[in-house]
Each structure stands twice: as C-alpha cells, then as structure tokens.
Amino acid sequence: MHSVINNIIQSTEQRISQIKEEEEAKKNEYIDTDKRDIVSKINEKKSQNKVAVIAEVKPASPGKKLRDINPEDAAFIASEMERAGAVAISALTEPQFFHGSIGNLEAVRKKVMLPVLRKDFIINKLQFEEVRSDLILLIAGILEDHLEEMVDIAIEKGFEPLVEVHNENELEKALKTKARIIGINNRNLSTLEIDLDTTLKLIPVIKEFDRINGSHHIIISESGMHNADDIRKVIDAGADAVLVGTSIIKSGEIYAKTRELVNALD
Ligand SMILES: O=C(O)c1ccccc1NCC(=O)[C@H](O)[C@H](O)COP(=O)(O)O
C-alpha cells in the first residue's frame, strides 16, 4: 500500500478511538425509514440511454486541495448535481487527507432525495454508528480478510455496501461476499496511478462470474474520468455507472459538468 494510504489508515484508527465512547452511547439512536435505492436509479437512467453518474462532493485529494466545502456548500453542490441528473451523491467524510466531514454528508442527505454514498476508509464496525448513509464504501484492498464480515455487518445495519476492488485477487474476494455492487477503482492504491483499462480488464471477470452463478452485480467504474470520452470508454465496456469527483469539482461548473457526463452517450 502507498504510504499515503498507510497514513490515512493510521489517522482513521485515531478517529475511531476518539469516537468510540460517544458512538457507543449513540448506538441505535437513529431509526431511519428513508430508503433510497441506487439500483433502481441506475436502471432508470440506463433505460433513458443516459449515464448513471455518482457525483462526488470532494474537497481534496491527499496533498491536493480542490475546493473549500462546508456543509452549506456541500448541500448546494449536491443539489446542483441532482438537478443535472446524477443518480447518487458520494460524500467524503475523511477529514485529514480529503477535508471531508460527517457534517457535509448530513447536509447533503438532508438537501437531496438521491441515495448518498459515504466515502471514507471504513476499517472498524464502530464507524457504521457514526452517521446514516444509503451506501457505504468498503475497500477490499484495505479490509482484506475482514471484508466478508464487514459486508454482512453493513447490510445488517441497513447500508448498501459498495465493495471497491482494483485487481483480480480483490475482485475474487468481493464476489464471495453478499455485496451486489462492485466498484472498480481505476486508481491503484499502492501507486496512486490511474488507468481506466483496470475497468476494462475486470468487467469480463464479473460478467463471467454472473453468467456461471446466475447472479447480477452492478458495476461502477471509479476515479480518473474527466470527459465524455472517458465515460464512454467504461460504459461501452459494460460499466453500469461511473463515480466522478475531481473533474466535476475542479470545473467550477457543477451543474454543467455533471450534465455533460450524464449526457456522454448523446
Ligand atoms: O482521490 C485521490 O487522490 C485518492 C487517493 C488515495 C486514495 C483514494 C483516493 N480517492 C478516493 C476515491 O475513490 C475518489 O475520490 C473517487 O473515486 C473519485 O475519483 P476522481 O474522479 O478521480 O476524483
């Protein structure tokens, strides 16, 4: 793993020890009956020949600030993304390296009707108690042998797990879990290099698994997409949806850029 990722994990462990007591006390405090289903949103968008875009409220990448985003800004940005036709919003909650916050996620989920993905480094089940979201990211390369257990707990807690993979080994583990949504991250977490061919390489493995097992996974291509050509490349290869952060936030034109990606097949 890249040293940046190791630093993120270390700081996440510190966060967990800080939240422990507080979150234990809060356990079961919220009963959320507001179910927002991303799968039906994706299918609806595909039936319109539009691209299912999960648009990310992303204040920064490690070492690279994109935009100051407080909860009020996060809510506004998300509503522009919704207006432009995104199928879901991804909200970063990791504070130190991505400048995200729980407050941003809460403000987004209050403002929009779309499903909201919590984007963070989830390594401990206590983190499930921190905040309600519709989907939660579980990274196979980080959770390793704990992946299956964390998927089960996420489902039990009412989250839709999005299991992120980057190679065949991680994918094999992901396909053994109950997750119905697989995110193929084009960003290698060991080198931080991006290669869209990662999606093209792994999709056939998922399709073949589904053919043999009579299952159906939703496939999301994540990271490193900047324009309609990038989007078409992964959609033509069989991705059901794309997850885009940097290029939307950096454009400064949240509505127009999201719309451009949603309409990439026109
Ligand atoms: O964004 C990064 O630079 C990054 C570095 C290390 C680990 C994870 C990272 N990103 C998390 C993400 O999954 C992306 O924010 C998401 O896929 C959107 O990617 P992009 O469109 O390239 O911002």
How close are the terminal C-alpha atoms of the chain, in Å?
39
Return the pLDDT at 1.
Answer: 84
What fold is seen in the domain 3-7+39-262? TIM Barrel (3.20.20)
**In the prediction, which pLDDT does 34 show?**
76
Using the atom order of ligand 1, give the atom closest to the CA of residue 137. Answer: 13
Q: What is the pLDDT of residue 22?
A: 67
Nearest atom within ligand 1 for CA of residue 2? 6
- Answer yes or no: is the C-beta of 244 below 6 A from any ligand 1 atom: yes
Q: How many CA atoms lie within 13 A of 58 on its CB side?
A: 24
- State the Cα–Cα distance between residues 160 and 51, nearest whole angstrom: 21
Tell me the residue type at 134.
D
pLDDT tens-place string over residues 10-28: 899 988 887 766 655 555 4
Residue 141 pLDDT more than 90?
Answer: yes
Q: For residue 201, what pLDDT is reported?
A: 98
Q: Which residues are catalytic?
A: 56, 58, 119, 164, 185, 222-223
Place of tokens 């089960």: 152
- Token pair recorded at residue 232: 């078409």
Residue to probe by mutation, ligand 1, list 66, 77, 187, 244, most atoms within 8 Å of CB: 187
pTM over 0.90: yes
**% of the chain surpassing 70 pLDDT:** 95
pLDDT at residue 32 in the model = 62
| Per-residue pLDDT reduced to its tens digit, 241-252 | 999 999 999 999
Whether 30 shows a pLDDT value over 60: the answer reads: no
What is the per-residue pLDDT across 179-230, written as a single tens digit (0 to 9) for each?
999 999 999 999 999 999 999 999 999 999 999 999 999 999 999 999 999 9
pLDDT of residue 26: 58
Name which residue sits closest to atom 9 of ligand 1, judged by CA: 61
Give mean pLDDT, residues 137-157: 97
DSSP 149: H
Residue 231: CB within 6 Å of ligand 1?
no
- Counted residue by residue, the chain has a size of 266
What is the whole-number distance in angstroms between the Cα of residue 246 and the centre of ligand 1?
8
Q: Ligand 1 centre and the CA of 166: distance in Å?
A: 13
Atom of ligand 1 lying closest to residue 225 CA: 21
Specify the pLDDT at position 24: 57
For the segment 49-78, the average pLDDT, to the nearest whole number, is 97
Distance 27 CA to ligand 1 centre (A): 30
CB 105 within 8 A of CB 91: yes
Instruction: Please give the pLDDT value at position 17.
Output: 84
Which among 4, 10, 61, 122 is the best mutation to test ligand 1's pocket, defined by most ligand atoms within 8 Å of the CB?
A: 61
- Per domain, the residue ranges of the chain are 3-7+39-262
| Mean pLDDT, rounded, for 89-112 | 98
**Cβ of residue 61 lying under 6 Å from some atom of ligand 1:** yes
Ligand 1 within 6 A of CB of 183: no
Indicate the average pLDDT of the chain: 94
- Output the pLDDT for position 21: 64
Residue 63, pLDDT score: 93
